[in-house]
């Protein structure tokens, strides 16, 4: 079943806010910008994560230097799941943040 437009926007807004809160509380040296539904996280070492909503596909996209990843929301688990690898968004972010800045952050709630 496809997400309604309103539900999709609520889910992305909630996810992006949770990410902002998590990164803000992490103590990492970074800059965040959320504009027009695009959340950009810039780490002090130059690494960047970009989260954007793809409304026609009802997907949340993540851009990282390792590639672009497309996530579908799974209502049963309440999690964003990578379209290709089936990795959860939180799991992928834990790995990427560790690889980029050497910090372990807890993304279980994402």
The pLDDT tens digits for 32-67 are: 999 998 999 999 999 999 999 999 999 999 999 999
DSSP 8-state symbol, 56 = G
Q: What is the mean pLDDT of residues 15-42?
A: 95
Closest CA relative to residue 92, chosen from 71, 74, 77, 78: 71
Confidence of residue 2 (pLDDT cuts 50, 70, 90): confident
Pull the structure tokens for residue 32: 């965040």
* Phi, psi for 18 (deg, rounded to 5): -65, -40
Whether the Cβ atoms of residue 39 and residue 20 lie closer than 8 Å to each other: yes
């Amino acid at each position: 079943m496809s997400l309604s437009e309103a539900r999709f926007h609520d889910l992305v807004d909630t996810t992006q806010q949770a990410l902002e809160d998590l990164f803000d509380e992490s103590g990492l040296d970074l800059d965040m910008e959320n504009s027009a539904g695009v959340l950009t996280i810039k780490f002090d070492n130059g690494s960047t994560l970009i989260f954007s909503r793809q409304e026609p596909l009802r997907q949340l996209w993540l851009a990282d230097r390792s590639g672009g990843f497309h996530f579908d929301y799974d209502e049963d688990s309440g999690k964003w799941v990578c379209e290709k690898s089936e990795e959860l968004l939180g799991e992928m972010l834990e790995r990427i943040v560790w690889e980029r800045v050497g910090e372990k952050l807890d993304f279980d709630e994402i």
